Structure formats: structure tokens, C-alpha cells
């Protein structure tokens, strides 16, 4: 039940962040994945720290791979 509540809240905030970013000069990098595609859910021991909440080194590396091309594009402008 808690996981469903967190997902609902995450979706609400994500929608707000996307909307605010589209109305401003802020770049939003979307790290959200649908549960059936989410590597953090598929391989939590690999992508989550021992506390089960924060990303592990591999989790941060995965996010970095998503962020890097967006940051490179913005920095090149």
C-alpha cells in the first residue's frame, strides 16, 4: 500500500516539475520510469543502497548516464 502511495505522489510531483520547467528556462531531466521498466525495482540489490531508499553507486551511475547527454547539450548551447 505504501509503494502505491509513493508512486501516486511521485507522479503528481513529476507532472508539476514538467509543467514548471516547460514554462521557464529550467531543464528538467526525467528520471522516472514506469514500474515495469524501472531498473531500480528490477534489480534493487544492484541499484539501491543497503537502506533500500537511496541509490547505490550503480544507481547514481545509471542516473548520470541519463543526465550526461542532457547536460552536455545544454552546456554546448
- pTM for the model: 0.80
List Cβ neighbours of 62 (8 Å cut-off, separation of 6 or more): 39, 47, 55
Q: How far apart are CA 19 and CA 5, in angstroms?
A: 21
| Percentage of residues of the chain with pLDDT beyond 70 | 99
Residue-level pLDDT at 4: 86
Longest dimension (CA), the chain: 44
43, pLDDT greater than 70: yes
Average pLDDT estimate for 21-25: 94
3, pLDDT greater than 80: no
Residue-level pLDDT at 1: 60
Amino acid at each position: 500500500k505504501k509503494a502505491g502511495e509513493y508512486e501516486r505522489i511521485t507522479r503528481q510531483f513529476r507532472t508539476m516539475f514538467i509543467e514548471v520547467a516547460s514554462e521557464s528556462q529550467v531543464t528538467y531531466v526525467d528520471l522516472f520510469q514506469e514500474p515495469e521498466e524501472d531498473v531500480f525495482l528490477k534489480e534493487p540489490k544492484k541499484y539501491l543502497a543497503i537502506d533500500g531508499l537511496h541509490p547505490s553507486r550503480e544507481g547514481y551511475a545509471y542516473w548520470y548516464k541519463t543526465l550526461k547527454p542532457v547536460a552536455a547539450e545544454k552546456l554546448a548551447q
